Amino acid sequence: GAVVSQHPSRVICKSGTSVKIECRSLDFQATTMFWYRQFPKQSLMLMATSNEGSKATYEQGVEKDKFLINHASLTLSTLTVTSAHPEDSSFYICSAADGGGQPQHFGDGTRLSIL
């Protein structure tokens, strides 16, 4: 149980492109989803907390207009990196929690490479 699916797993695109990443909870309803960014050999940096039906809460220093988050249902949250540039290249991981006291479960991550 507690499977989180993240798609796509890998994206390579040109500078200026907007990229959408999906995070789905497959066998539970996720009241809260989290988006992290991870640089090589570094820790997971929380970008934002996403609650179903409400605006995401962004961490300090994360541009909300750059990283658009939509949590439209209890099983889906999306992260859109708008007008991506090479410095946005990174590993993006989502996690989801069911609100019932269970721990966060992570997706497989998306490796984003902007040329």
Partner 1 sequence: GENVEQHPSTLSVQEGDSAVIKCTYSDSASNYFPWYKQELGKRPQLIIDIRSNVGEKKDQRIAVTLNKTAKHFSLHITETQPEDSAVYFCAASRGSGTYKYIFGTGTRLKVLA
Task: Identify the DSSP state of 43.
Answer: -
- Which CB atom, from 17 or from 32, has the smaller least distance to partner 1? 32
- Which CB atom, from 45 or from 76, has the smaller least distance to partner 1? 45
DSSP assignment of 49-109, as one string?
EEETTSPPEEPTT--TTTEEEEEEETTEEEEEETT--GGG-EEEEEEEE-SSSPPPEE---
Contact pattern from residue 5 through residue 44 relative to partner 1, giving x for each residue in contact according to CB under 8 A and a dash for the rest:
--------------------------xx-x------xxxx
Given 81, 97, 112, 114, the residue binding partner 1 (CB under 8 A):
97
**By the 8 A CB rule, do 9 and 110 touch?**
yes
Where along the sequence are the contacts to partner 1 (CB under 8 A)?
4, 31-32, 34, 41-46, 49, 91, 93, 97-109, 111
